[in-house]
Amino acid sequence: MCGIVGIFSHDEVAAELYDSLIHLQHRGQDAAGILTCDSRFHPKHGLGLVREAFSPKEMDILKGHMGIAHVRYPTAGGYSEADIQPLWLGSPRGIALAHNGNLVNYDQLSTTIRHEQHRHLNSTLDSEALLLLLADNLATGSYRDHDEDMFFEQLTHAVKNIYTTVEGSYSVVSVVIGKGLVAFRDPHGIRPLVWGERLREDGTKDYIFASETTPFYALGFEPKGDIAPGEVAYVNQAGKLYRQVVETKAFSPCVFEYVYFARPDATLDGVSVYRARLRMGQNLAKQWKEKYPELQPDVVIPAPFTANTAALSFAHELGVRYSEGLYKNPFIGRTFIMPNQRTRSRHVRYKLTPQRTEIENKKVMIVDDSIVRGTTSREIVKMVREFGAKAVYFASSAPPIKHPCFYGIDMPSCHELIAAVKSHEEICEFLGVDYLLYQSREDLVEAITRRGQHQIKKPCMACMDGDYVCGNLTKERIAFLEKQRERDKGQT
């Protein structure tokens, strides 16, 4: 999971790309990159948070009226500066690309690139394979530079070839020197990609494509909707927008975007993330009342901040007081996207401080967005117990997560997923809770799809139900990918 943004503007664009990354920082804390374009590329990459990766002096050299940017949360690839996006190459035309997602068949693509095409890969990123495929497919065209309609036709053919070659999830922003800004999304629409426009006083328009709508308001862009699954969008140098759906398959946006990853003020695929999380809490509370009618907590406390919204509606549905009984230090990052288990455990106590007045001698209900490895949940329960809770209940807005994700979420192996290796009773004992409730899959889907102008019938829930929407993920293939990820993880 990462955050991407591409902007076409009639003014210099570097500062707005930087501001966009600040609004997308929750999607990746490991590294950040910005690339702008005029008659050449101007790239700048850095490890760490956005504010650490770029200095004011470095921003001054990022010239151009269009560009792309990326914040990284690695699920594949290494941790060096060579593995920071955007990536670019100068031949055959000059193309740069930033990608959010994960290519399931990257090992096959990289083998073809290295051994059959005899080309060198400069990074360990699957995004580099996408870049090379796009460049190669555009290089085969016979379009004339001045014929924009012909170029867009060639671009749609190039992306269609990617759709037939690449398996997995990918939302992409790209710039082509001398042509314009490009955005496209995989045919299943697994990873999000939204767009907006900004009307200028002279009647011209600027355009933005991003993982979420979160940067739009601050930059003055009006949200216009989503790039559809299998759609290609292109803004030429004159500011003309082209759009075409090239190929579509079963629409399966990632459920974890709504549960955890997206910021609550985002709207993705026509669904308000905030409202979806309110409904998750409401459905979860109804299920609690049905299953445990005799158990009424004294207070409902969220695991901040992602679970705050669901906990609020959970408490309202039960008629119980809601309290932010765990104070979160906002200067410590999201533990789920930290690189290893040891780091996550250490940072839970660094970032959370219990409030004794809200906990002591009370039956405490903790609501969290999900239980993945169990690390964070266990530490939270320990802290609540240490501050004198009389009883501790725990409710998860998401169903049990039992399967690895191969589409961009850091769930690399079922061996790391607590629900895959322990029974319900064993999980209760491991977490140290008196009672535990998971959201049902049906209630989660209902919460996401109840409202909104959307076309979602069933989101991708492969991490919960094992139904992988693409990539021919047989048991043998899954076992191979799990071993590969564990080996790569041991080398970092």
Catalytic residues: 2
Q: Which tokens go with 117? A: 């095409």
CB contact at 8 A, 2 and 62: no
* Angstrom distances, CA of residue 157 to CA of 37, 133, 134, 320: 24, 12, 10, 57
CB contact at 8 A, 76 and 125: yes
Can the peptide bond before residue 86 be classed as cis, meaning omega within 30 degrees of 0? yes
219-233 as b/e: b if 16+ CB within 10 A: bebebeebbbbbbbb
Q: Which stretch of DSSP H or E encloses residue 391?
A: strand 391-396
What residues pair up with 208 in beta bridges, in sequence order?
7, 196
Number of DSSP helices (H) and strands (E) in the chain, helices first: 18, 22
Burial class (CB in 10 A: 0-12, 13-18, 19+), 208: buried
Sign of the CA dihedral with 58 first, then 135, 192, and 454 last: positive
* Angstrom distances, CA of residue 346 to CA of 185, 326, 332, 427: 37, 16, 11, 21
> What is the distance between the alpha carbons of residues 352 and 348, in angstroms, rounded to a whole number?
6
Helix (H, G, I), strand (E, B) or coil at 245: strand
Q: Which residue has the tokens 């990159």?
A: 33
What type of residue is 81?
E
Q: Which tokens go with 238? A: 């004159």
- What spatial distance separates the first Cα and last Cα of the chain, rounded to whole Å? 18
What residues pair up with 404 in beta bridges, in sequence order?
none
Which residues, including other chains, have CB under 8 Å from residue 355's CB and lie 6 or more apart?
A: 323, 324, 325, 326, 327, 387
> What is the distance between the alpha carbons of residues 453 and 158, in angstroms, rounded to a whole number?
30
Which residues, including other chains, have CB under 8 Å from residue 490's CB and lie 6 or more apart?
A: none
